């Protein structure tokens, strides 16, 4: 049982990174109507920027903020130069984001190399609570994620910006007539999702080594999380991330570890077939085609 | 040409009466290729047949073989995406089903290329139909993500398959047994074998696109609720087109297996699948030669541009972005509209001259 508890706490920190990317996808997909396959690459770029800065002697938390800003800028550029033109044809935007992910991945390989990168954990303390070892860095990752989730959740459900955003998803034309700058909101959501990916990348490299190929692995988990929970639903992304974390912990402990990746894929396929709108329900994606 | 359908007196029979002779039953309703289409087809085929005689060297000839078996698989995807409008980024996985079927049959039962060919195509078709089932419930991008997951699942299953699938190292197969003394271990002959399969694939694609079945698929793509309302069993036809698409992928996959003589799971992973999607978008899914053009561009670009693999992948990505932003119909769609504009201008010019 204690081993299981240990596994659970460990997978909670992994789930945090998954929740961050899943939340970015769920917001961008569900609210801005853009399927961004390059989100995983955004996370990887965020991790790489953090790595480069920490290697240059910058404090980890400063590097994290710089990575968030840099990836946010990347998102802004991508939205303005690419996705803006495919808003009416989401399928083309999706294919384009695949192209973008291929470009980003190979540009990172070109400028750095394929070798995995890691940093020494910025916080190395280990707390023992009731016989369970808790690595402080993992607890910090979980705490940061919890704060970001809370801010995002209340931002979308309570603030006037969140209300305006949901209004422009529900009815673009009416929202525009009410004076909501719909396109600017789309940009805003895209940039916010990118910033979350940058944060996810920075937190991820604090926990595990990452390679230029990390993005293409994590993106599937991100999609799984957002689709399991329901698109555009922040709470759903959290639930989805926790489900995946739990499945992973159980699989690592009781199942066949080499099949770990398969379980989350199977969970996602089954949920998509049984409940296409996700467990908690959400918008059906960009104009539900 | 008797019309057995008594309930449609308004049927325009004149068009049918004008046919020179009765066509066999299976050819009915398939539009004959126009003279332009015949010319273009023969020209392209002649060019492809002539290619090995220009002494392209081993490297270019092997690239051409890869181009052709990839193009065969792409013709399946072009029917599924271009005609029925259902994109998939798991097509390499279906190719893998074909390839692994052949390799497992060869290793376990000692079957050769010709015996396992129909089985590989059948199993691929079946696998594609099963992967296609969720598309009846979830559409659009959701379905694309599901196909991506199936592809990733297949790679995990193949990697964990032990000696049956050869795990991560994969399986070896022997050469294709010769027919009438033609040895397929020789690259030229392999090229002609693939070319024959490609010709058949293009002909079948043309026939399907211009048959009543193709028009049914078209109606599903353009307006599925309407298609259902006029009595088309859209679910059946969608699964049908997945199966056809899978059979093409299986053919491409088995040719790939016997060309490489060794296969491993990473050939069929997520990224090969993405590249297939990229090729179909680059070339254009609807024009008849779009898949071939897409495959030629992606296979030959790195060699002709002198790019290393990383640079060429960046180039593909940039190319994909440019094509989607500037030429949504793909390169072949762009060429086609250029040609149409050209002929239209010529007609207008001639008409203008006639008036003056």
Residue pLDDT, tens place only, B1-19: 444 444 444 444 444 444 4
Which of A236, A237, A259 minimizes the C-alpha distance to A247? A259
What gap in Å lies between CA A49 and CA B48, rounded to an integer? Answer: 48
Other CB atoms within a 10 A radius of the CB of residue B277 amount to: 28
Distance from CA of A82 to the nearest CA of B (A): 8
For B240, the token pair is 């049908």
Which of B270, B288, B268, B269 minimizes the C-alpha distance to B329? B288
Q: What pLDDT is recorded for position B3? A: 45
Residue B187 domain-assigned (yes or no): yes
For B161, the token pair is 């398959």
* Residue of B162, B272, B297, B321 to mutate for A, most A C-beta atoms under 10 A: B321
- What's the distance, Cα to Cα, between the start and end of chain B in Å? 46
B185 close to A (CB below 8 A): no
Chain B from 139 to 158: CB within 8 A of any A CB: 139-142, 144-146, 148-150, 152-153, 156-157
Q: What pLDDT is recorded for position B2? A: 44
Q: Which long-range contacts (CB under 8 A, 24 or more apart) does B39-46 make?
A: B40/B289, B41/B202, B44/B289, B44/B292, B45/B199
Residues of the domain holding A245: 2-288
Residue B192 domain-assigned (yes or no): yes
Chain B residue closest in CA terms to A104 = B314
Residue B87 domain-assigned (yes or no): yes
Residues in a beta bridge with B172:
B262
For A74, the token pair is 């990347």
Residues in a beta bridge with A126:
A135
Distance from CA of A80 to the nearest CA of B (A): 13
Residues of the domain holding B246: 48-271
DSSP annotation of B166: T
Name chain A contacts of B152, Cβ cutoff 8 Å.
Answer: 220, 261, 265
Judged by DSSP in three states, B29 sits in coil
Name chain A contacts of B137, Cβ cutoff 8 Å.
Answer: 273, 276
Distance from CA of A262 to the nearest CA of B (A): 6
Residue B216 domain-assigned (yes or no): yes
DSSP annotation of A129: E
Which of B165, B156, B62 minimizes the C-alpha distance to B106? B165
Q: Which are the contacts of A39, defined by CB distance < 8 A and separation ≥ 6?
A: A21, A24, A25, A28, A97, A193, A194, A197, A219, A222
Q: Which are the contacts of B178, defined by CB distance < 8 A and separation ≥ 6?
A: B184
Which CA distances in Å does B337 have to A17, B29, B32, B174, B342? Answer: 47, 27, 22, 45, 8
- List for chain B the helix, strand, coil content (%; round to 5): 75, 0, 25
Pairing between β-strand A126-129 and β-strand A132-135 as defined by DSSP bridges: antiparallel
- What's the distance, Cα to Cα, between the start and end of chain A in Å? 46
Which of B131, B113, B133 minimizes the C-alpha distance to B183? B113
Judged by DSSP in three states, B242 sits in helix
CATH number at residue A118: 1.10.3470
Name chain B contacts of A269, Cβ cutoff 8 Å.
Answer: 134, 146, 149-150
For B140, the token pair is 């659009």
Q: Do A106 and B139 touch (CB under 8 A)?
A: no
Residue B294 domain-assigned (yes or no): no
Which residues, given as ranges, of chain B have pLDDT below 50?
1-20, 354-356
DSSP annotation of A208: S
Using CB atoms, which residue from A107, A223, A259 is nearest to B160?
A259
Count the domains in chain B: 1
What is the tens place of the pLDDT at every residue in B223-282?
888 888 888 888 888 889 999 999 999 999 999 988 888 888 888 877 788 888 888 888
What is the tens place of the pLDDT at every residue in B152-169?
888 888 888 777 777 777
DSSP annotation of B183: -
Residues in a beta bridge with B171:
B263
Count the domains in chain A: 1
What gap in Å lies between CA A72 and CA A36, rounded to an integer? Answer: 14
What gap in Å lies between CA A68 and CA A50, rounded to an integer? Answer: 9
What gap in Å lies between CA B342 and CA B331, rounded to an integer? Answer: 16
B223 close to A (CB below 8 A): no
Residue B280 domain-assigned (yes or no): no
Using CB atoms, which residue from B277, B317, B324 is nearest to A103?
B317
Which CA distances in Å does B87 have to A8, A42, A114, B168, B188? Answer: 38, 24, 31, 28, 34
Judged by DSSP in three states, A285 sits in coil
Chain B residue closest in CA terms to A91 = B141
**Residues counted in chain A:** 289
Which residues, given as ranges, of chain A have pLDDT below 70?
1-2, 255, 257, 282-289
Q: Do B148 and A220 touch (CB under 8 A)?
A: yes
Residue B82 domain-assigned (yes or no): yes
Residue B8 domain-assigned (yes or no): no
């Amino acid at each position: 049982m204690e081993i299981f508890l240990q596994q659970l706490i460990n997978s909670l920190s992994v789930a945090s990174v998954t929740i961050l990317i899943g939340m970015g996808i769920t917001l961008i997909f569900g609210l801005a109507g853009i399927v961004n396959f390059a989100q995983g690459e955004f996370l990887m770029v965020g991790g790489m920027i953090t790595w480069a800065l920490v290697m240059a002697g910058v404090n980890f938390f400063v590097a994290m903020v710089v990575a968030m800003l840099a990836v946010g800028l990347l998102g802004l550029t991508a939205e303005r130069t690419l996705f803006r033109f495919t808003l009416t044809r989401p399928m083309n935007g999706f294919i384009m984001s695949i192209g973008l992910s291929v470009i980003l991945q190979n540009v990172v390989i070109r400028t750095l190399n394929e070798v995995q990168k890691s940093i020494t954990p910025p916080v190395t303390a280990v707390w023992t609570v009731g016989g369970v070892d808790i690595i402080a860095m993992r607890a910090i990752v979980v705490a940061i994620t919890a704060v970001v989730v809370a801010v995002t959740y209340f931002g979308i459900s309570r603030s006037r910006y969140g209300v305006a955003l949901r209004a422009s998803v529900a009815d673009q034309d009416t929202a525009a007539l009410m004076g909501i700058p719909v396109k600017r909101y789309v940009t805003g959501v895209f940039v916010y999702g990118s910033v979350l990916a940058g944060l996810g990348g920075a937190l991820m490299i604090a926990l595990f080594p990452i390679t230029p190929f990390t993005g293409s692995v994590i993106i599937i988990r991100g999609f799984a999380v957002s689709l399991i929970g329901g698109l555009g639903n922040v709470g759903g992304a959290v639930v989805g991330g926790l489900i995946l974390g739990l499945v992973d912990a159980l699989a690592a402990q009781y199942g066949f570890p080499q099949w770990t990746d398969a379980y989350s894929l199977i969970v996602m396929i089954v949920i998509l077939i049984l409940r296409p709108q996700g467990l908690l329900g959400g918008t059906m994606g960009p104009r539900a085609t | 040409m008797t019309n057995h359908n008594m309930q449609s007196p308004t049927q325009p029979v004149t068009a049918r009466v004008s046919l020179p002779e009765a066509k066999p039953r299976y050819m009915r309703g398939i539009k004959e290729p126009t003279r332009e289409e015949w010319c273009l087809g023969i020209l392209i085929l002649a060019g492809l047949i002539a290619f090995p005689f220009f002494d392209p060297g081993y490297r270019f000839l092997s690239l051409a073989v890869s181009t052709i078996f990839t193009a065969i698989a792409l013709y399946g995807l072009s029917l599924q995406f271009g005609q029925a409008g259902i994109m998939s980024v798991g097509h390499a996985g279906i190719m893998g089903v074909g390839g692994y079927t052949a390799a497992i049959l060869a290793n376990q039962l000692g079957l050769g290329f010709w015996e396992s060919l129909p089985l590989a195509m059948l199993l691929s078709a079946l696998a594609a139909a099963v992967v296609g089932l969720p598309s009846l419930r979830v559409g659009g991008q959701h379905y694309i993500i599901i196909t991506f997951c199936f592809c990733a699942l297949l790679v995990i299953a193949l990697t964990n398959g032990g000696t049956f699938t050869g795990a991560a190292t994969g399986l070896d197969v022997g050469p294709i047994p010769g027919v009438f003394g033609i040895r397929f271990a020789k690259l030229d002959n392999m090229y002609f074998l693939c070319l024959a399969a490609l010709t058949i694939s293009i002909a079948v694609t043309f026939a399907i696109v211009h048959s009543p079945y193709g028009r049914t698929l078209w109606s599903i793509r353009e307006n599925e609720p309407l298609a259902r309302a006029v009595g088309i069993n859209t679910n059946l036809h969608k699964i049908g087109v997945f199966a056809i698409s899978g059979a093409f992928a299986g053919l491409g996959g088995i040719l790939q297996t016997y060309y490489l003589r060794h296969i491993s799971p990473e050939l069929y992973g997520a990224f090969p699948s993405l590249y297939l999607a990229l090729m179909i978008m680059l070339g254009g899914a609807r024009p008849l030669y779009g898949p071939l053009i897409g495959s030629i561009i992606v296979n030959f670009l790195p060699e002709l541009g002198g790019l290393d693999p990383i640079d060429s992948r960046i180039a593909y990505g940039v190319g994909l972005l440019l094509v989607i932003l500037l030429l949504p119909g793909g390169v072949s769609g762009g060429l086609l509209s250029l040609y149409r504009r050209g002929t239209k201008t010529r007609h207008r010019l001639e008409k203008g001259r006639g008036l003056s």
